[in-house]
Amino acid sequence: MTNRIAVALVGASLLAVAGAQALPADRTVAVARTDDARTRAQAIVAKMSFDEKIALVHGLFPPRATGKTANELIPSAGHIDGIPRLGVPLIRESDASLGVANQVEQRKGDVATALPSSLATAASFDPDISRAGGAMIGSEARAKRFNVLLAGGVNLTRDPFNGRNFEYLGEDPLLAGEMAGAHIAGVQSNRIVSTVKHFALNAQETGRMVLDARIDEAALRESDLLAFQIAIERGRPGSVMCAYNKLNGDYACENDWLLNKVLKRDWGYRGWVMSDWGAVHSSAKAANGGLDQQSGQELDSAIFFDAPLRADIESGKVPMARLDDMVVRYLTGVIETGLFDNPVSDKLQPIPYARNALVAQRAAEAGIVLLKNDGNLLPLSGVKRIVVIGGRADVGVLSGGGSSQVRSVGGAPVEIPLASGAASSFARITYHASSPLKALRAAMPGAVIIFVDGQDKAAAADAARNADLAIVFATQWATEAQDVPDLSLPYGQDALIDAVASAQPKTAVVLETGGPVLMPWLARVPAVIQAWYPGQRGGEAIANILTGKVNPSGRLPITFMASPGQAPRAAPVGLDKLTSLEAQAAADPAQAGKFQLKTYPVDYVEGSDVGYRWYEKKRQTPLFPFGYGLSYTTFAYRNLTASGGKTLTVSFDVVNSGKRAGSDVPQVYVARDGSGTPMRLAAFQRVTLKPGESRRVTLTAEPRIVADYDTGLPGWRIKGGTYRVALAHDATDRGMTTSVKLDAATMKP
């Protein structure tokens, strides 16, 4: 590692800890660099032989690769040899949504800092938190010799049962796009590459390798694609990972419309498209359809981008110019992110784990959502005897499973292999070593805090009765490759909470779940905290929220339903049609080849009315709406003004009207008068205020949220006229509204 990079890395870590400072985002400079990067890439490719080009468009999956490289194969997701004579770097890819991943501890003893779930980070509504997390992960990855990170998951949550919701950023395209963009920029501030993934509409895990996601174009542009578009603009990722599923008839990784027309033509994207692992089905169709690189080749039925692609080029099915373009794009991403000029050291570098843990803790604290707090049960103060029940709170906090799994600093106090299911080949139920019980005891030295494991309901209820207050920790494990079977808490935990709440009126529930769960006991429990999967400092973060050292400020990035019937789909589509073995194979790339699997359609009938927009359209009242979250203080909005014309701008005062310092997230929702479409989140900002403090905030609406997509144009169209504007605490709040007139306008796709 050169000194220059060492300095840059220290800088990145400091920034990550200090948090609030944004990394520079000078678009003019970045665009100039892209031009330069592509020109440089073309000059390098001009010097390559045919074999050298082919070697760069397919990559190894180290756990299955067999002696094809002179370089060390580090167990991880991917490996592509470089071309030393041309300075093209060796690429080592790692999953990195929540930290440098190490699934099923394939690298024995190699730990990394684990952030909370991405959904938890989304709940902060704070791109700086997301950027700090990305910067931290990128710095650890570089120190571990990884230089392309499979991060930036931005699929919108269309279904609460999606097993990967915890890896994504919720149901709103603006929030998800902003947060993903910041994460990617953070990763790439280390002069390495991040992806954005999974492009596109990989919205459920059941049948993910075969299903055909169907939706109309305008709806897709206004929802999932908009999230990707914003993430790419903000984060400028070196690479885009195409998804497993089909989209409107064609596999995403050979989908000419998606890759060539939308991504490369309409959005002007100049980096490279890499496939998901096991997502390639052809050579000529994929290459001509816009795929630039086959990843994890051992997981596909053939190494399509080696011999078959050579043959297709020789026979003229794929133009040689297309192969050149594939490699130019690859190098453009590698050059533009700074990796080419700042190679990763071939020796492991020291990592400041103690400092990085603070980044994880801060993200967890900012993302925990206080859902209910009747009678101000929280924060805990002056309570003498507390019983903590269940959730393995004595040893740690739960994490989500699959390729994002981090082996965190401190190890895994609980690790349970799976006997069956699509995730069984690469996931285990894993806890991070951050005990809420221990953290609570340390934070409340004057209290007696006992633990019961919750296996025996009656014993838990007895312990609750004999205490002054009970805290039940309830968990729901979710993983890549499987959707959750239903939205109820598993293992009888609903009954446990009921029993405890009957015995002890002062009961708080802490939820560690992948996403929303049903809460049949809600009316009987005065306080509820949504802690998501809170990461390797989750225990400390939960204790700080419970005791009030940190004032809760998270807001739901996803609607919590009152009943499964409220959602567009009550259950994963296809699960009932597939045998359990087929279901397993249709979601696990390692097993897909074993069956002749049939494709089947999934119709996204809600179109762009995803999440809270669906609830408004259907006039349904959720359990907790998108954007919702309480605080130990109160916030008021005053003096709302809005101006229209070419741009919709809203100004208002946010006042901390309570007695504690805290953070609020004012949200601006917009809809055209008379359009009949639900209101959409057009701007938001996290604001931190001392008690009594007031701040004037001015927000500008994202124009593509105000607009509709017009396929006839083609492009975005703002219809001239009156627009309703709500300044709100959540997606259902209409306490403060106004209206403005906007000029008609159009924008490029």
Q: Which residues bind ligand BGC (CB under 6 A)?
A: 77, 95, 150, 197-198, 276-277, 403, 589
Please name the residue that has the structure tokens 């991040």: 194
98, 117 contact by CB (below 8 A): yes
User: Nearest approach, Cβ of 583 to ligand BGC (angstroms)?
Assistant: 16
Collapsed DSSP state (helix, strand, coil) of residue 670:
strand
User: Nearest approach, Cβ of 691 to ligand BGC (angstroms)?
Assistant: 44
Q: Smaller CB distance to ligand BGC: residue 271 or 390? A: 271
Residue 366's alpha-carbon distances to 474, 640, 747, in angstroms, are 20, 27, 35
Buried b (16+ CB within 10 A) or exposed e, 251-275: bbbbbebbbbebbbebbebbbbbbb
Tell me: cis bond preceding 592? Omega within 30 of 0 counts: no
Q: Smaller CB distance to ligand BGC: residue 245 or 656? A: 245
Rg over alpha carbons for the chain, rounded to the nearest Å, is: 25
Q: Pick from 510, 504, 498: which is nearest to 469 by CA?
A: 504
Say how far apart CA 150 and CA 186 lie, in whole Å. Answer: 13
140, 360 contact by CB (below 8 A): no
266, 749 contact by CB (below 8 A): yes
Collapsed DSSP state (helix, strand, coil) of residue 465:
helix
User: Nearest approach, Cβ of 180 to ligand BGC (angstroms)?
Assistant: 13
Say how far apart CA 341 and CA 5 lie, in whole Å. Answer: 10
Q: Smaller CB distance to ligand BGC: residue 239 or 507? A: 239
Q: Pick from 659, 575, 559: which is nearest to 617 by CA?
A: 559
Please name the residue that has the structure tokens 């194979």: 585
Tokens of 666: 């004012």
Q: Smaller CB distance to ligand BGC: residue 38 or 197? A: 197
User: Nearest approach, Cβ of 385 to ligand BGC (angstroms)?
Assistant: 46
Q: Smaller CB distance to ligand BGC: residue 197 or 234? A: 197
Buried b (16+ CB within 10 A) or exposed e, 67-106: eeeeeebbbbbbbbbbbeeeebbbbbbbbbbbbbbbbbbb
User: Nearest approach, Cβ of 389 to ligand BGC (angstroms)?
Assistant: 35
431 forms beta bridges with: 398
Residue 17's alpha-carbon distances to 136, 254, 353, 717, in angstroms, are 9, 41, 12, 41
- 109 conformational bin, left if phi > 0, alpha if psi -120 to 50, beta if neither: left
Contacts of 362 (CB under 8 A, 6+ apart): 19, 129, 132
Please name the residue that has the structure tokens 């082919």: 54
User: Nearest approach, Cβ of 59 to ligand BGC (angstroms)?
Assistant: 11
User: Nearest approach, Cβ of 582 to ligand BGC (angstroms)?
Assistant: 18
Q: Smaller CB distance to ligand BGC: residue 118 or 283? A: 118
Q: Smaller CB distance to ligand BGC: residue 276 or 664? A: 276
User: Nearest approach, Cβ of 402 to ligand BGC (angstroms)?
Assistant: 7
User: Nearest approach, Cβ of 266 to ligand BGC (angstroms)?
Assistant: 24
Say if strands 148-150 and 507-513 run parallel, antiparallel, or are unpaired. Answer: unpaired
Q: Smaller CB distance to ligand BGC: residue 205 or 609? A: 205
Say how far apart CA 624 and CA 610 lie, in whole Å. Answer: 16
User: Nearest approach, Cβ of 301 to ligand BGC (angstroms)?
Assistant: 16
Q: Helices (DSSP H) in 504-647: which residue ranges?
A: 538-547, 580-585, 612-617
User: Nearest approach, Cβ of 446 to ligand BGC (angstroms)?
Assistant: 46
Tokens of 380: 């805990």
Q: Smaller CB distance to ligand BGC: residue 199 or 628? A: 199
Say how far apart CA 117 and CA 227 lie, in whole Å. Answer: 18
Say how far apart CA 482 and CA 488 lie, in whole Å. Answer: 16
User: Nearest approach, Cβ of 407 to ligand BGC (angstroms)?
Assistant: 15
User: Nearest approach, Cβ of 304 to ligand BGC (angstroms)?
Assistant: 17
Say how far apart CA 493 and CA 59 lie, in whole Å. Answer: 44
From the CB of residue 676, how many other CB atoms can be counted at a distance below 10 Å? 8
Say how far apart CA 205 and CA 402 lie, in whole Å. Answer: 11
What single letter denotes the amino acid at residue 739?
S
Q: Smaller CB distance to ligand BGC: residue 170 or 625? A: 170
User: Nearest approach, Cβ of 281 to ligand BGC (angstroms)?
Assistant: 15
Q: Smaller CB distance to ligand BGC: residue 406 or 725? A: 406
Q: Smaller CB distance to ligand BGC: residue 208 or 362? A: 208
User: Nearest approach, Cβ of 204 to ligand BGC (angstroms)?
Assistant: 13
Q: Smaller CB distance to ligand BGC: residue 92 or 197? A: 197
User: Nearest approach, Cβ of 316 to ligand BGC (angstroms)?
Assistant: 33
Say how far apart CA 259 and CA 187 lie, in whole Å. Answer: 24
115, 409 contact by CB (below 8 A): no
Say how far apart CA 98 and CA 85 lie, in whole Å. Answer: 35
